């Protein structure tokens, strides 16, 4: 698992920018169930946390 994390979840500046843009550009699509949207949001937050970008509880609540 550690080898895969090092290979695919590098905490480079370009990866951080890509994930942040992806998070901030997320929009609710009306033809997608809310559960799927929340799962995508949680996945994005997990990916950001894994590369060292952590959000306060207040920011997480705001994003939800």
Q: 5 pLDDT exceeds 70?
A: no
Domain count, the chain: 1
**Do 40 and 26 form a contact (C-beta atoms < 8 A)?**
yes
Domain that holds residue 19: 2-63
Q: Which residue stretches of the chain are H helix?
A: 2-8, 13-24, 34-50, 57-63
> For the CA atoms of the chain, what is the radius of gyration?
13
pLDDT (tens digit per residue) in 21-48:
888 888 888 898 989 988 988 888 888 8
Closest to 53 measured CA to CA, from 16, 6, 28: 16
62: pLDDT confidence band, cut at 50, 70 and 90? confident
Number of other CB atoms surrounding residue 19 within 10 Å: 19
């Amino acid at each position: 698992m550690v080898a895969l994390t090092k290979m695919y979840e590098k905490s480079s500046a370009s990866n951080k920018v890509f994930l942040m843009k992806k998070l901030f550009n997320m929009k609710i699509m009306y033809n997608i169930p809310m559960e799927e949207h929340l799962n995508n949001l949680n996945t994005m937050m997990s990916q950001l946390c894994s590369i060292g970008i952590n959000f306060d509880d207040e920011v997480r609540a705001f994003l939800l």
